[in-house]
Structure 1
């Protein structure tokens, strides 16, 4: 029941962040493909409402948001590390900047009409419209294409300057900063290649992307959603360690029914009983008719909690 089960879809940038980390750590994992947009009834059965992609399942424990997933993978396989000892703080700060500010500049650039035309070239028009409408409903903070290009080029120059003397962003080995910066750039190159000329002025970035891609995606096996649901139903959530300190910043006691949602886009709440609130994460206990007893975990940063 300790198998890593990643729920994702092929063209999800944040999913590829985790797939690339699986490759870096040479992890074996199970792949469950989920829909790229709503409705997602099977996803909601496991997460309780959280609809972003990806999420990680280990038995009856569901881990939401790639920031938390990365910490879970680091605990699962500490070497090679994502968080080099002498640069932990810097690596996390760069990763957060990339996952938030830089990501939206890149995706605004990618999702301009010319990009969407190529991305959905072989798809039915209704599929493209459904995708765009879904992302609008999620509250994607997209900027105008011209403004996105200005910001994206500026970000690429900054990344290139970090690579002038380094093989990877912060040194000779990749870290969490590399994988967080990499995935929206990967999307430009793979999903909207007609827009990839934006990399021409920063060849260092292209060489670095090739090095990250060469790490692979680990050892992947396919798993159906029904099989993943069965894994959850046959397991029990991991026991909350006794040494984990309860940090009460909200005046909400353990055992209270609460709702947790993202602070920005994709703010559908997950409701459950609060069973842990540590320095870095919240954990909710919930029950689903098909998946049984589960714990759903969220990082504290970027999420809000309220009593129901």
Structure 2
């Protein structure tokens, strides 16, 4: 297997989710740091437009969205599992809720004016404004919580998580699963990036104890890699054919009337709605795959989960 290359930045919550999954599975990985805001020329050379963080590169195959990345890492190393057989449905549904509803409540609280001022206290004066404008552009299709509403929701969700953490070491039992990593990363941001706001956790001590156990999993063996080297590795590699890559399903599921080989775009339905255009080479029950070519990255296959992404034919193609 080619190296697992994670394109991320240190303060990215969703990157922390995947860093911990890599640690949980004890998988060695290579770290490529990317900018937090546009421009991201090295990322878009690989993805063709998608610019949410993180992105997982394996040779010339590019995996987008942490839900899909978790599936890939499960295939690379099935044990310990992210999806215990008796909890497979409920832990996936919980993770989907945690990655969306819980996360946006947490970040609405975390990046209220006091939190944002703390995050950017040591940054150049124009960085906070640039970050705010960047995230505003990524959120055009979303309804964002106002700080007061986010605080109320976050408090309620923390109490519900505490009810689970009161019963077990992890949310669904004695071992962590995908639900723990999905629930943790917004709370991680509260604890590590805006500690002056972490008193919201005080009424739910079992959440803090659970978070300590998740944190202790660590990130596993990591080595640094430059963006230029990652692009060179993509260019030198051949994408894996559908059915032979790290996504286990390959049967065509046509819900759109768009045949394989068509020129299409795949676009996130909510946050970060930049489209990626390419040739549709797979549309299965779980994912879409596009073939595209870039002067720096060469021929790559870019993979997206089906859930949360819109597939459209390119007009006139």
TM-score range normalised by the length of the shorter chain: over 0.9
Structure-1 separation of matches of 2:45 and 2:214: 34
1:236 is matched with 238
User: Which among 198, 203, 206 is matched to residue 205 of structure 2?
Assistant: 203
2:252 is matched with 246
Q: How far is 1:215 from its partner?
A: 0.6
Aligned residue pairs: how many? 308
Correspondences of 1:3-152 after superposition (within 5 Å)? 3-139=3-139, 141-152=143-154
1:269 is matched with 275
Q: How far is 1:302 from its partner?
A: 0.2
User: Which among 179, 182, 191 is matched to residue 181 of structure 2?
Assistant: 179
1:156 is matched with 158
Contact kept, 8 Å, 1:107 with 1:142, in 2: the verdict is: no
- Report SS of the residue matched to 1:125: coil
Larger deviation, residues 134-143 vs 260-269: 134-143
1:216 is matched with 218
Larger deviation, residues 298-307 vs 235-244: 235-244
Structure-1 separation of matches of 2:21 and 2:117: 30
Q: How far is 1:141 from its partner?
A: 3.8
C-alpha RMSD of the superposition: 1.0
Structure-1 separation of matches of 2:125 and 2:177: 39
- Report SS of the residue matched to 2:126: helix
Q: How far is 1:164 from its partner?
A: 1.3
TM-score normalized with structure 2 length: 0.96
- Report SS of the residue matched to 1:244: coil
Structure-2 separation of matches of 1:240 and 1:63: 13
List alignment gaps of at least 5 residues for structure 2: none
Contact kept, 8 Å, 1:82 with 1:175, in 2: the verdict is: yes
List alignment gaps of at least 5 residues for structure 1: none
Structure-2 separation of matches of 1:123 and 1:216: 27
Q: Which runs of 4+ in 1 moved over 3 A?
A: none
- Report SS of the residue matched to 1:82: coil
What do the CA deviations read for 1:225-276 (whole angstroms, capped 9, x no partner)? 0000000000010011287211110000000000000000100000000000
TM-score normalized with structure 1 length: 0.99
